[in-house]
A and B are shown apart, each in its own frame.
Chain A
Amino acid sequence: MTQKFRLAEGGRINRDHPVQFQFDGATLHGYEGDTLASALLANGVHLVGRSFKYHRPRGILSAGAEESNALVQLREGPRTEPNMRSTMVALFDGLKAESQNRWPSLSFDVWSVNNLFSRFLPAGFYYKTFMWPASFWMTYEKVIRNAAGLGKGPLGRDPDRYEHRNQWCDVLVAGGGPAGLMAALAAGRAGARVILVDEQSEMGGSLLSGTGEVDGKPAADWVAEIMDELRSMEEVTILPRTSVSGYYDYNFLTLLERVTDHLDDEPDGKTPRQRFWQVRAKQVVLATGAIERPLTFLNNDRPGVMLAGAVRTYVNRYAVLPGLKAVIFTNNDSAYDTALDLRRAGASATVVDVRKAPRGALVEAARAAGIDIMDGKAIVKVNGGKRVTGVLIRELSEDGKTVTGGSQSIGCDLVAMSGGWNPTVHLFSQSRGKLRFDESLAAFVPDKSFADERSAGACNGSMKLLDCLTEGLKAGLAAARDAGFNVRKAPTAPKVDEAEEGGIMPIWVVPSGKRLGQGGKHFIDFQNDVTAADVSLSHREGYVSVEHLKRYTTMGMGTDQGKTSNVNALAIMADLQGVSVPEAGITTFRPPWALTGFGAIAGRNVGEFMDPARLTAMHDWHVEHGAKFEDVGQWKRPWYYPKPGESMADAVNRETLAARSAVAMVDASTLGKIDIQGPDAAEFLNRIYTNAWLKLPLGSCRYGLMLHEDGMVFDDGVTTRLAENRFLMTTTTGGAANVLTWLEEWLQTEWPEMKVYCTSVTEQWATVSVSGPYARHVVGSLTDYDKLGPKDLPFMTMAEMDIAGIPARVYRISFTGELAFEVNVPRRQGLALWRAIWEAGQKYGITPYGTEAMHVLRAEKGFIIVGQETDGTVTPMDMGMDWIVSKKKGDFIGRRSFAREDTARDDRKQLVGLYTEDDPHHVLVEGQQLVAEVKPTPPMKMVGHVTSAYFSSNVGRSIALAVVEGGRERMGETLYAPRLEGGRPVKVTITDPVFFDKEGVRARG
């Protein structure tokens, strides 16, 4: 259990709970409370990954969400995850992690050859080459693809569960550092419903990384007190390990809570792995802190070069010493804290400060502690490959542009750098807030808010602890007040003792004594290997807009999305252009703040819950009787019912024959049903449908076509007048929701004066349609037979009666062209009805049939199916249905379009029937195109296509429906249907689309 770099005491780790883990196969030890990164450092492991492009060895840069280097492949098997930031992975017993993007091993990576050739691989090099020979791009590309990518994708199905939670609150506080804690406390005391979110495992933020005091006690104690009070508040929800991933319009925020990620592999099956929150917040307080900027110097990417603030976090929070001999390289005072803490922890520390004679209290403290301060100097080079071995230091000119004099070499194993701090404005920016550039901080800070939101603390540019606490307090109070709460017992800001800080000297590129791009690299975006020279090249070539810069160099396009690189690159570009940083612009911050799991966003909308299947009341019966199912919209419909040994064709032939020769039944429950009521209901239908509805008698049914404004058919169905002001409309199965939307759109936006109310009742009814010569016998045996007679219940009427003792609506309508009764009962009695009809039909040989037989039967009659014969480009006239388009009634939707010259043409594609000429058993392919003239090779002029094609046992041959240009005038003509598989096109003859019972007497019988 050697953790050579673990300090003997201190830190917020649980030394009573040692933990064993593996990295690249080596067994290492750490403690509960560690992150993977802190545990690796405790074991002296600095080489953790390889960069994206040059495969340079990389270590741990940060201690938080901004990590761009130390990404690992976490866990194994179906739970493996690529690109996990080791700085955000909580250590647990048995954790297994592997380094990424290297082969065969992390320390010997063949791909690092890219680094040797890096001179030929500047930003955008691929746009300039790989163009010869033209056909070779994809060969080059294959190599590029294999070299790119980082980790490996998981294989197989995710074994874990994710959950969604929707919540509202008065005040959402993003960030649990000093500002966020004060904001939550203030709002909480005011009685507001507060959600406090922080992505770390515990609240406290920067207070956990330091050694200071708040209110005269150690900061951690103060945090614990505040947390105790917050926990005691009923309306306050505290969410650690939770990131605000997105800030959308109208204060809608998404949060990702990592519920069990910090535990070992086996969640208990009930607890979700992650919870995705969707929160509506009346007010938001952003207290997201700040991210330290790297300095841009030669070889600043070597393992062992870390952000100074992160070093401090490792020392104080995790009791880990990232190095024994440290050089602190800074342009501001904050890094002096790091020097002092390192020194206290037993490391040696030398400060290299680019500022000449810096004068702050911290500087003085460092000096007093005997720390060597080299002012007005810069690191011009870092030595070492897989770990820092030393630095070269030279004198810096006053303007920071050049170095002079001889170089001094210092051996070290750690470089802690600080280029100043960028307020974490990501969420503010996502909320459409406007930024401004603060010269004193040399950073972007929030300017004008757009949403109901306030920034407080470091994310607002206030870097001093007291300011953070005060601003947090104010923001929390104001947020509570704006959310409607009286603030009676406002807390006061605690006292803190704080050193006065000196100013920052912005330096965007640290000169190395050579021209940029010569003799080494100054990295800006570590993950994507974007260097200062790349920015310079981008400028040289005219990619000066910040968006061009980003896209040309790929700066900020990695998994960290530029958290440490963005401002540095922009500032360098501004410098090159000779403009100020804000003039150069800033790229858009887009959600998510940090990588957000797709599984979490999907939540439980996966598997059977993805789009739950709709099942009819008779579904179980269909399953018991061996039905094969077809997906129609969201519904599962019986497709056909094969008997043992039957093929699909056998089954369909048997079902279709039964419907015409005896009796057959189909579950028609899935048709859309809309109850339409109100004094204007008839007039409304008159406008929606193409035919006339005002005079439809009570209890009568009528078929109707609906058109869009362009005159094209979009749905059809039978509608029945149930009462003077009440109709029941049926729609296609798949179109039901669209039709209801359509009706509502017209009622709500165009005709608000109409008194019409539409209600979907699809789910309320179960429907059995009984067809065939014995249909009346079967249904009649379950009710008063006489009520079903041709005079009592004529074709296209409806009557209410009991069927098998169940109150039912019986419609005499027919989609098969046979004598048919459609029996509708309340859904809960659907199965009983189905069984009763099934029993009663036994002596007539009743046969259940599925959608396939239904389609064949209607095609034999030339009845169209909307969505099959029609495709949104077909008018009623094209379908040969002029009879349904009223010439007398007033306006209806789509009517005006019939006057358009193209819509009015009489040689448009029209519905026809087709017979195959050579083989009457050959069934055409639905969708097969038709040509009048066959050419040896395409292109060929198409004149139409097959919309439906079946073998019809009732007709005794194959039949097809098609749309053909000017088809009605081409009866008897021969067309050809070329086949995808080649060979001779199928010869077809154009015929009438009605193949069976042309006079239509059977349905009326």
Chain B
Amino acid sequence: MAKYSVFSLVRNALSYHENWQRAWRSPDPKPEYDILVIGGGGHGLATAHYLAKEHGINNVAVIEKGWLGGGNTARNTTIVRSNYLWDESAAIYEHSLKLWEGLSQDLNFNVMFSQRGVMNLAHNLHDWRELNRRVHAIRLNGVDSEILSAAQVKAEAPILNVSPDSRYPIIGASMQRRGGTARHDAVAWGYARAADQRGVDIIQNCEVTGFVINNGRVEGVETTRGPIKAKRVGVAVAGHSSVLADMAGFRMPVESNPLQALVSDPIKPVLDCVVMSSAVHVYISQSDRGEFVIGAGSDLHVSYSQRGSFEIIEGIMGALCELVPMVSRMKMMRQWGGVVDVTPDRSPIVGKTPVEGLFINCGWGTGGFKGTPGSGHAFAATLAAGEPNDMAGPFSLDRFRTGFLIDEAGAAAVAH
């Protein structure tokens, strides 16, 4: 398949772009695969890519009930960072970030990973303590992070209101400069194209309707396009993990909540970095198109529908206008929701299930997009070996039995 480059672009321009090949084939499912990945989102497609590339397993299919990349890969706020507190999280997210750093080249598809920096704001002494703790831990894990004063915050993002008289003044921030944003859809497309080139079958509009399980071992799946056999099956269907688990006869400690986001109309660039404030539940960045991309937070109710309630949007708007006063005269252009899998400790589950040969990758909560490459990489290794690798190991389903939780939610924001 032709490599993408400025040269191929020029060459194709001369033939009026009529000779571009399909980015991926549209094959019918074969009767059997070595490994079947359920879910053609970022995680599933990345898994297939690394299975083929790193483990030489090409007899792989990714089956997707709708259009590939149509789940949370298409619905997030595109933020990539690895500034996590616990060693286990730092390991997998930093691994992910390193893969992000070379992803466009690895996939030969520009995913526009842009290391414009991710700033986490502190508004009170409690935030400040937590921020210090994180930055110290992140640095000792060998990951980049630094602390900014309010004045430095203003210099990085002049549109922020750093007035000390603000209701929740900005007293400082942590900054991960290697963090940033990426073009979310392109991640799914890039992985799909790269996996397809290595022989992976990507089968869209193919919904799993049941599992074939014999003597506690998975042998394949039933789908809307007929049965497909497989030696091993990996599930990566964020938002619907509990549905698939139910089909396979086990329960997952996962709840599905709508998570909402919105974009503004486009304007000329005014914000270079990503700004996050957990105290007032706002995160914001400006896309290359010029839109503000704004994360709104998740609804409290559980739901499989990709829509939330308006109160969530309304709820952040005052804080947003305080934090970034200029947005008051800007406008909401589009709002949407995704469905996130949430585990009790807010960390993912990557590994075995009670069914032999059936593996699951879920529970990434709000961290799924940034984790895509690392998740796919670790899940591929797990599927290839039939055992979780070092990266995936701590994220076993079993931890909810042993109590080895990786609690990234950290302290509830309580203070005396």
Contacts and interface: CB of A to CB of B under 8 A. Distances in A.
Q: Do A and B come from one complex?
A: yes
Interface of A: 52, 79-83, 119-120, 122, 125-132, 134, 137-138, 141, 144-146, 148-158, 246, 248-249, 252, 254, 278, 515, 517-518, 533, 537, 540-543, 545, 547-548, 551-552, 554, 557-559, 561, 590-592, 595-599, 601-603, 605-611, 613, 630-633, 710-712, 714-715, 732-735, 738, 851, 854-855, 865-868, 870-873, 897, 900-904, 925-929, 931, 937-940, 942, 945, 978, 980
Given A598-B332, A606-B321, A900 B265 contact: no
B414 A714 contact: yes
B352 to A, nearest CB: 18
A663 to B, nearest CB: 21
A156 B330 CA distance: 12
A904 B401 CA distance: 12
Interface in B227-268: 264-268
B318 A609 contact: yes
B140 A940 contact: yes
Given A129-B4, A129-B9, A903-B403, 14 more contacts: A131-B5, A137-B113, A542-B23, A543-B189, A547-B70, A554-B289, A596-B331, A599-B321, A738-B414, A902-B405, A927-B129, A927-B131, A929-B136, A945-B137
B416 A902 contact: no
A926 B126 CA distance: 10
18 contacts: A149-B266, A158-B328, A517-B17, A542-B23, A542-B24, A602-B318, A602-B328, A606-B328, A608-B167, A632-B124, A632-B126, A867-B411, A867-B414, A868-B416, A927-B131, A929-B137, A939-B140, A980-B135
A760 B146 CA distance: 41
A611 B167 contact: yes
Nearest to A948: B129
Nearest to B193: A542
Contacts of A610: 167, 318-319, 321-322
Residue among B23, B186, B307, B328 with the highest chain A CB neighbour number at 10 A? B328
Contacts, number: 356
A900 B67 CA distance: 42
Contacts of A596: 331-332
A714 B407 CA distance: 13
Chain B interface extent, by class: 35 or more
Q: What are the 9 tightest A-B residue pairs by CB atom distance, in nearest-first order? A: A149-B290, A927-B132, A927-B133, A900-B403, A605-B318, A867-B414, A599-B328, A158-B328, A595-B331
Nearest to A635: B415
A83 B266 contact: yes
B269 interface: yes
A120 B8 CA distance: 10
Contacts of A598: 264, 317, 320-321, 327-332
B269 A145 contact: yes
Interface in B135-156: 135-137, 139-142, 146-147
Contacts of B399: 902
Nearest to B124: A631
Given A248-B309, A537-B17, A592-B332, A120 B314 contact: no
A554 B333 CA distance: 14
B112 interface: yes
A154 to B, nearest CB: 5
B304 interface: no
Contact of A927 (B87, B136, B310): B136
Contacts of B13: 119-120, 122
Scoring B6, B26, B412 by chain A CB atoms within 10 A of each residue's CB, the highest score goes to B412
Given A83-B266, A598-B330, A901-B403, A738 B412 contact: yes
Interface string B108-144: 1110111110000001111001111111110111100
A942 B102 CA distance: 29
Contacts of B385: none
A153 B268 contact: yes
Most buried by B among A79, A153, A559, A596: A153
Contacts of B135: 927, 980
A545 B104 CA distance: 23
Candidate in A148, A518, A542, A711 with the most chain B CB atoms within 10 angstroms: A542
Contacts of A249: 307, 309
Contact of A631 (B69, B168, B289): B168
A865 B413 CA distance: 12
A150 B267 contact: yes
A146 B290 CA distance: 9
A153 B330 contact: yes
B214 interface: no
B301 to A, nearest CB: 11
Contacts of A902: 399, 402-405
Contacts of A141: 112, 114, 288
Given A591-B335, A868-B129, A734 B414 contact: yes
Contact of A131 (B4, B289, B414): B4
Contacts of A602: 314, 317-318, 320-321, 328
B407 A872 contact: yes
A156 B325 contact: yes
Nearest to B91: A939
B131 to A, nearest CB: 7
Contacts of A131: 4-5, 104-105, 108, 110
B265 A595 contact: yes
B410 interface: yes
A925 B105 CA distance: 41
Nearest to A940: B140
Q: Name the residue among B140, B322, B329, B335 with the largest chain A CB count within 10 angstroms.
A: B329
Given A129-B110, A606-B328, A590 B336 contact: yes
Contacts of B318: 602-603, 605-606, 609-611
A134 B9 contact: no
Contact of A980 (B139, B186, B268): B139
B16 A517 contact: yes
Nearest to A602: B317
Nearest to A854: B416
B136 A870 contact: no
A395 B382 CA distance: 64
A929 to B, nearest CB: 4
B330 A597 contact: yes
A128 B8 contact: yes
A966 B266 CA distance: 54
Contacts of A81: 329-330
B9 A128 contact: yes
B41 to A, nearest CB: 13
Contacts of A146: 268-269
B21 interface: yes
A605 B317 contact: yes
A342 B284 CA distance: 49
A134 B104 contact: yes
Given A547-B70, A738-B412, A942-B87, A980 B136 contact: yes
Nearest to A155: B326
B201 interface: no
A610 to B, nearest CB: 4
Nearest to B403: A900
Contact of B288 (A132, A145, A551, A609): A145
Nearest to B306: A588
B97 interface: no
A601 B265 contact: no
Nearest to A119: B13
Which interface residue of B4, B318, B401 has the most chain A CB atoms within 10 A? B318
Contacts of B18: 515, 517, 540
B187 to A, nearest CB: 11
Contacts of A83: 265-267, 331
B207 to A, nearest CB: 15
Contact of A711 (B115, B326, B328, B403): B403
A152 to B, nearest CB: 5
B159 interface: yes
Contacts of A561: 333-334
Nearest to B185: A551
A711 B110 CA distance: 46
